[in-house]
């Protein structure tokens, strides 16, 4: 299912993708910086050790999951977690 919306991300891992994807666009619109992690399947990350940190107004424009996590074969989901309280994250994917 395609997604083109803004999602509230809090202190627990929130899936940004609505299904398996190969590429996406996202940006931290407001609030806290976020951690972003790729996964294989629907299991959320358990820590931030393999995540990337994005500040407000940062993100990725039509990037592939293979570029975001080249060492994770089969990455197909993206999760985010706020560093602080809450972040508003725009996400779009097919």
Digit-coded pLDDT (tens) for 20-42? 999 999 999 999 999 999 999 99
Q: Which two tokens stand for residue 27?
A: 């940006």
Give the pLDDT of residue 58: 98
Give the pLDDT of residue 28: 98
* Phi, then psi, of 67 in degrees rounded to 5: -80, -35
Sequence-distant (6+) residues with CB within 8 A of 54 are 28, 33, 34, 36
Give the pLDDT of residue 12: 97
- Residue-range domain boundaries for the chain: 3-93
Third-level CATH fold of 3-93: Jelly Rolls (2.60.120)
Q: Which residues of the chain have pLDDT under 50?
A: none
Give the pLDDT of residue 81: 98
Give the pLDDT of residue 69: 95
């Amino acid at each position: 299912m395609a997604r083109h919306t803004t999602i509230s991300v809090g202190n627990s891992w929130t899936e940004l993708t609505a299904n398996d994807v190969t590429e996406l666009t996202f940006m931290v619109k407001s609030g806290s910086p976020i951690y972003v992690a790729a996964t294989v399947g629907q299991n959320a990350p358990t820590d931030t050790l393999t995540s990337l940190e994005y500040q407000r107004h940062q993100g990725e424009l039509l990037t592939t999951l293979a570029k975001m996590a080249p060492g994770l074969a089969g990455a197909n989901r993206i999760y985010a977690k706020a560093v602080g309280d809450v972040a508003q994250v725009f996400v779009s994917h097919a």
